[in-house]
Amino acid sequence: MAAKSMKCALGSQLLTTRFDSQSSKVRAFSVRCSSVPFSTDGAAAVGLVERPWKVADARLVLEDGSIWRAKSFGASGTQVGEVVFNTSLTGYQEILTDPSYAGQFVLMTNPHIGNTGVNFDDEESKQCFLAGLVIRSLSISTSNWRCTGTLGDYLAERNIMGIYDVDTRAITRRLRQDGSLIGVLSTEEKKTDKELLEMSRTWDIVGVDLISGVSCKVPYVWVDKTDSEWQFNSETKGETFHVIAYDFGIKHNILRRLASYGCKITVVPSTWTASETLKMKPDGVIFSNGPGDPSAVPYAVETVKEIIGKVPVFGICMGHQLLGQALGGSTYKMKFGHHGGNHPVRNLRSGRVEISAQNHNYAVDPASLPKGVQVTHVNLNDGSCAGLAFPERKLMSLQYHPEASPGPHDSDLAFGEFMQLMTQEKEKA
């Protein structure tokens, strides 16, 4: 009798299914769990026998003095960072690999995370730069045709801490009320609550250059495109533009979308000078997304200043904030920022509302911008500036993510607008 065995690795657990290929009947089924939890309420579990899959106790100590007890998965140790909440329902792997989260703990408001595991295609950068992951319930099993591993193993291999069985709703309400908070996550029992609190109160993310830690070190050429189901814009002319993309922490899908629109792309480090860029005679320049405080990177603002007006430029998120500053405007820190795949934005030129993917803690103050700069998009949740254009100086920018990944694709047309900007410029020459 021909029998086959299918194995699916789930952390250090093993799920084995044996089936008879002639009768197609499952003959044996076993699940071994040692690191993947069932969701249990921490308080309710008191007095119960410890579950075998629990890795370690962890504490998240926030700077307001609150202490959140949780269970740990992924890496162990002690880590400090700013806690932000993300309202995306899907796409945790893209979120984990978005370099703009460097220095931050991402708390997912969706309570059930890990159910699709991880795969090779959903990486948005070569590394996880975030401080850690905070979730309510870690899925006991993974089920997806692309799955190549579990979330727990993925985080452990990348030395990223995660916690589950923590009241993510209560923390989110606190962050909404009081604003973003610095926190320290620790699995080290010998560290006292006081020590961890002290650590959270002496660390700061404002004024720190986080871009230099995530940017590439040398230029490289990007060629990968998105798959065919991403072809939303039938009006692309198929012209080839050479685009220089400044890597302030660039997400791969920005590069894939540009490649799909027919661009030849050279990615350059954040410190690449304007004169080196202009010498390469690009048709356009992208200023990418990136982590941290836009006021902490004056060298990048200088570079942007020297490039604008000379070639068409498109700023995305951090790139948009740097453009705002380069134009003479100012940026400010928001109360708790925007993080998620469900933010409504109004395109003021078309009147169209786009549901957008967002991830930022800073915003451009439109009142600080000089005459001639147009606010093209507004976030409908709080009225903040979500996009700019200055046709005279061939620039456009968005505070959010037209490349999605994860998130809705409503704003992909922005890449088409950038192609138009480059076409107009080519026609003038």
Active site residues: 317, 401, 403
Which of 182, 317 has the CB closer to ligand GLN?
317
- Between helices 298-307 and 318-326, what is the axis angle to 10°? 70
Nearest distance in Å: CB 361, ligand GLN: 4
Which of 162, 292 has the CB closer to ligand GLN?
292
Which of 360, 377 has the CB closer to ligand GLN?
360
Which of 79, 359 has the CB closer to ligand GLN?
359
Burial class of 394 by CB neighbour count within 10 A (0 to 12, 13 to 18, 19+) = buried
Cα-Cα-Cα-Cα dihedral sign, residues 278, 279, 283, 289: negative
* Contact predicate 149/176, CB 8 Å: no
Nearest distance in Å: CB 48, ligand GLN: 41
The vertex-40 CA angle with 39 and 41, nearest 5°, equals 130
Q: Which residues contact 57 (CB under 8 A, 6 or more apart)?
A: 69, 70, 71, 72, 187, 189
Q: Cα 412 to the chain's mean position, in Å?
A: 17
Which of 289, 376 has the CB closer to ligand GLN?
289
- d(CA 62, CA 184) in angstroms, rounded, equals 6
Nearest distance in Å: CB 324, ligand GLN: 11
- d(CA 398, CA 376) in angstroms, rounded, equals 9
Which of 132, 152 has the CB closer to ligand GLN?
132
Please tell me the total number of residues recorded for the chain in this structure: 429
Nearest distance in Å: CB 125, ligand GLN: 12
Strand 56-62 and strand 330-347: the pairing is unpaired
Nearest distance in Å: CB 362, ligand GLN: 4
Nearest distance in Å: CB 95, ligand GLN: 11
Residues in a beta bridge with 32: 14
Strand 284-287 and strand 313-316: the pairing is parallel
Which of 343, 360 has the CB closer to ligand GLN?
360
Binding site for ligand GLN (CB under 6 A): 100, 289-292, 317-318, 359-362
State the residue number with the nearest CB to ligand GLN.
317
- d(CA 263, CA 364) in angstroms, rounded, equals 29
For the chain, the straight-line distance linking the first and the last C-alpha, in angstroms and rounded, comes to 74
Question: Cα-flanking dihedrals φ and ψ of residue 409, to 5°?
Answer: -100, 10
The kind and range of the H/E element at 359 are strand 353-365
Give me the DSSP letters along 322-357: HHHHHTT-EEEEEEEEEEEEEEEEEETTT--EEEEE
Q: Which DSSP state fits 118?
A: B
The vertex-387 CA angle with 386 and 392, nearest 5°, equals 160
Nearest distance in Å: CB 337, ligand GLN: 6
Which of 166, 205 has the CB closer to ligand GLN?
205
User: Is the bond preceding 219 in cis, omega lying within 30 degrees of 0?
Assistant: no
Residues in a beta bridge with 266: 221, 244
Nearest distance in Å: CB 208, ligand GLN: 11
